[in-house]
Amino acid sequence: MFAALNYGIPRRAQEKGALELEYWDPRCYTTDVHRTVDDTPYGGGPGMVMKVAPLQAAIAAAREKLPKATIIYLSPQGKRLDHATIAQLSETPELILLCGRYEGIDERLIALEVDAEYSIGDYVLSGGELPAMVLIDAISRHLPNVLGDSDSAIEDSFVDALLDCPHYTRPAEIAGKSVPDVLLSGDHAAIKQWRLKQSLGRTWERRPDLLENRAKQKTLSKLEQSLLEDYKKDSGRS
């Protein structure tokens, strides 16, 4: 499954030596002929629960190489992953990502081994592998000298708790829709302000919760407040 990380930015991060990935399969740490990693839940109910012993042995094997690693369990019960957390994790030298399956993992293993639980959204997936890949891809963008343009990560959505502004490329007109004049003006100060205004407006329209959080924290500057009001007036919804 993790072959997906051999493409794009994660691949570049690995080629540059900024990222190293290794995998430990819990089935390789079982002792029965069927390589069993799950069992029925105590108390009854549907599904299966991942057993402690194979996972604990796999974690121990990973710790031999990564003795100081932070262990993260990708779980729907975890804290929602956000930009700030990704930035923080990108500075953590060693991570062990624990991927569950079925109904999840025996709670005692989580208590014994896991340092943090993270979720990528309020929905359930078949397992933790895809969330782990999302986490790795997001971290890769923050590693030194990985992106072609060092400003790319700085200007991404969520960096300032705002969504990104609209982007355009050639040709200048498609199906009667033209690129905004300011982007063709060569006036870098005006372009920067236009982009900030669009980011604020797009966030207000699509993720008002982000703006509400910034308002509560009193981190909206006077310029941002003014640009947002202008955007609302321009849209006719002030």
Catalytic residue numbers, as ranges: 76, 103, 141, 156
Torsion, Cα 96 97 102 104, to 10 degrees, reads 70
Pairing of strands 116-119, 70-80: parallel
Cα–Cα distance, 137 to 12 (Å, whole number): 11
Contacts of 230 (CB under 8 A, 6+ apart): 197
**Rounded to 5°, angle at Cα 59 from 51 and 133:** 95
Q: Are 76 and 119 in contact (CB under 8 A)?
A: yes
Q: What distance lies between CA 8 and its chain's CA centroid?
A: 16
Residue positions counted in the chain: 238
